[in-house]
Amino acid sequence: MTYQEVKLPQFPETPVFVSLFTGVSEDTLNTIKTELVAANKDYDFCFLNTNHVISLEHLYHSLYKSVLNHKNGTMRAKTLHTEIIFNLSPINNIMDALRRFGVDPECPDVIAIKVTDEPFEEVYKHLRKIVGAEAVEINDRVLEGLINVPKVKKIYKLNDAKLDEQHLQQLLTRLAIGACILRGN
């Protein structure tokens, strides 16, 4: 399995497709970015750079929040895919969230997410064509190696927090989720 099917216990009818690609070329990333801005239907995915995605728990919190907001009709962003990016951010500004968490030509590692009813195998085939690479397994250990800790600390304002280096990923996850929950309040 190279992609993940996420089922939230509260929303079993809304499965989410999650996959990770590493070493994507800068040209491809630039194309993806242009096509996303042009709202090309073929590129209707949520693309994230891996610099600030601390762990699966962090990512899934955003998925849950976004699907919930989608169901309740309380989304702040225009689409569910943008909402996922926005809900990762501790700052109440969608443009800012897109800039920080969205696809970044300087970061060759990309997480692609899609909320859809289409069969996931088809989705993956299509995605492989766009990205031009094979997906790799996504888990906490892989993500830990891809995060940029100083940048994460800066975004989530954790420079004054007491962090135990041994459980860094765990602590950062807890603190980042806390910051996302409290965004704007």
Among 140, 142, 148, 153, contact with another protein (rule: CB under 8 A): 140
What track of x and - describes contact with another protein for positions 163 through 182 (by CB under 8 A)?
A: ------xx--xxx-xxx-xx
**Number of Cβ atoms within 10 Å of the Cβ of 54:** 27
Of residues 14-73, those binding another protein (CB under 8 A): 55-57, 60-61, 63-65, 68
Q: How far is CA 118 from CA 20, 40, 125, 165, 174, in A?
A: 19, 18, 12, 42, 33
CB 152 within 8 A of CB 144: no
Least Å from the CB of residue 152 to another protein: 14
Least Å from the CB of residue 164 to another protein: 8
Residue 23: is it exposed, middle or buried by C-beta count within 10 angstroms (0-12/13-18/19+)?
exposed
Question: In terms of CB distance, is 29 or 143 closer to another protein?
Answer: 143
- C-alpha 67/C-alpha 65 separation (Å) is 6
CB 133 within 8 A of CB 12: no
Considering the rule CB under 8 A, would residue 161 count as an interface residue with another protein?
A: yes
Q: How far is CA 129 from CA 43, 108, 135, 180, in A?
A: 11, 16, 11, 33
What track of x and - describes contact with another protein for positions 74 through 113 (by CB under 8 A)?
A: ----------------------------------------
3-state helix, strand, coil in the chain (%, to 5): 50, 15, 35
Considering the rule CB under 8 A, would residue 149 count as an interface residue with another protein?
A: no
Q: Which stretch binds another protein (CB under 8 A): 8-16, 27-35, 75-83, 102-110?
A: 8-16
Size of the site for another protein (CB under 8 A): 28
Residues that bind another protein (CB under 8 A): 8-10, 12, 55-57, 60-61, 63-65, 68, 140, 158, 161-162, 169-170, 173-175, 177-179, 181-182, 185
